[in-house]
Chain A
């Protein structure tokens, strides 16, 4: 049985390793999150916004040309069609409602690819709440369109200039901001990472993905369960959402796809399940990339959303216990797969998502297998990168 305990542990992973300064905020959330999000009024508002504002349910699309190519039945869960272009908004809609109920008047967030930053800026605009987004200085450069979007939505984008200047450092800065502003501020974390109760809270908000998959698959195929679900894992929120209602159905294979950058052992990688060891990052006991001395290693991936040295504690548990299988995909494999999907299905995926599709090349299928790929986001934000590498991939 895969479940989280009262202290926020999935098996040996999770918990809340936070300085005392964060205790009141985390404790307030821990005590109230389940009760608040299960209130009928909360659910009504949440569901209404997901439907009318986000555009849910997101379609489950039978990708026929892809299916023909791989000789299996492949469905795409179209999170790219959500408002703002990725799954990230499912979580931010939920968390902004949570923040309002907790009486918070200022929102902070971290972002890597900018998708979570945009999704946070969007719900803050919707609710008229002040929004500050921390983003690594390196990511600000490589995800410029999303920086402009956040600013247009009224958010302040603050560059994180410490460390590798990517997602890990943006997260550090957001946590420091929260320590300095404990009373009026809510921190909207963008993935299933961080101290308890964030991993569980974010997974619950994202679980709408697999909730819909169940009835959509039933409609399409006559059965609720696929044979496998494939999702990319940065921190792991789209994967957690896509797995959630299948976690305890052992017949459903869960495939977690990580970024291998220039190759798992190239020294420039973000393949945490292979390179990671047990430790603590951002308040959570999980798998992370670190030196023997416990210094966190700066990861690398061309994709800003997967460029994170840890994974959420749920995924650490799924992988360590053998419930999920991890597959690592390099930058080039992901790029090739993005060009391939564009031509095959007329869908330009986010670079993060392209990693999930590349995993199709590494799997074995039976002809009657039904596979769902979580199409976590669209590729608009990555066009510069795609254009830069385009020639290299034309045979």
Chain B
């Protein structure tokens, strides 16, 4: 059983999935942040592969990616960093990135490398269901990797079922149709969407992401799904932090609703 399956077998509630961009703020922070997140009680980590043209991302994640690339981040280096931190941590790690990078690395080679270094799953937001099923599903499943597809408030019911059929690990529920980094409270309309999807009794667990930025929004999302994903808000907390490990611990506490100890 891979680490992702193990997590969901043991825990169905309040799952905290944190996204950050590999190689940001500093090139060597990747491993440190992963360990600090595990220690602070995150359940799952989504590691962003920095990309020059991240279409679905807002300014915060865009800038973190630009910074990481300026720092010298590359995919081979990212794999090295993961491999070396994997010896020290058992937290499930998901790679998130745009499909062009996978193509350039070589699809089969990429999936194999993920398994070799200890990656547990993938999120490739611009890989369409059709192309996935036709060209890559077999490779990903043979490799034993998880893969999460996205649904949005506009995704028709039939397509949600298709996403459930193809996803392995969890379904990524985009909270509202937007790029990443939205802030603010969760609206009635979004709650209705969460309930609508909940009623479909899907086979995969669901994590809600995009616009989850605080203890309140996290707690609300957890009432309607198995957990939630936080990205931009965490990256903002890392930006300008003197000590990324401390900043990470403080951030996770603030989301879980435990007072940060002074």
Contacts and interface: CB of A to CB of B under 8 A. Distances in A.
Contacts of B154: 21, 23-24, 182
A89 interface: no
B115 interface: no
B128 A15 contact: yes
Interface string B78-119: 000000000000000000001111111100000000000000
Q: Which 7 A-B pairs have the closest CB atoms?
A: A294-B104, A20-B150, A294-B101, A19-B56, A295-B52, A280-B100, A24-B154
Interface in A338-368: none
B52 A7 contact: no
Interface residues of B, number: 38
Interface stretch (A47-55, A172-180, A258-266): A172-180
B172 to A, nearest CB: 9
B57 to A, nearest CB: 8
Interface residues of A, number: 32
Contacts of A172: 53, 55
Interface of B: 51-53, 55-56, 58, 62, 66, 69, 74-76, 98-105, 125-128, 130-131, 149-152, 154-156, 159, 174, 177-179
Contact of A21 (B98, B101, B149, B174): B174
Contact of A162 (B62, B101, B152): B62
B52 A163 contact: yes
A23 B126 contact: no
A292 B104 contact: yes
A278 interface: yes
A21 B103 contact: no
Interface in A1-35: 7, 15-21, 23-24
A168 interface: yes
A203 interface: no
B69 A180 contact: no
A277 B111 CA distance: 21
A21 B102 CA distance: 21
A175 B149 CA distance: 20
Contacts, number: 99
B100 A290 contact: yes
Nearest to A283: B126
A173 to B, nearest CB: 10
Contacts of A176: 55-56, 58, 179
A125 to B, nearest CB: 28
Contacts of B66: 162
A7 B126 CA distance: 15
Contacts of A290: 100, 104
A20 B155 contact: yes
B105 A17 contact: no
A69 to B, nearest CB: 43
A296 interface: yes
Contacts of A180: 177-179
A294 B103 contact: yes
Interface string A148-184: 0000000000000011000010001001100110100
B53 A163 contact: yes
Given A16-B128, A283-B126, A295-B69, A21 B100 contact: no
Nearest to B154: A24
Contacts of B51: 294-295
A296 B152 contact: no
A281 B178 contact: no
B55 A20 contact: no
Nearest to B131: A15
Given A17-B126, A293-B74, 18 more contacts: A16-B128, A17-B127, A18-B55, A18-B126, A19-B56, A20-B174, A21-B154, A23-B154, A163-B53, A172-B55, A176-B58, A176-B179, A280-B100, A280-B126, A283-B126, A293-B75, A294-B102, A295-B52
Nearest to B101: A294
Contact of A294 (B55, B56, B105, B130): B105
Given A20-B174, A21-B178, A279 B104 contact: yes
Given A172-B53, A175-B55, A294-B101, A182 B177 contact: yes
A21 B53 contact: no
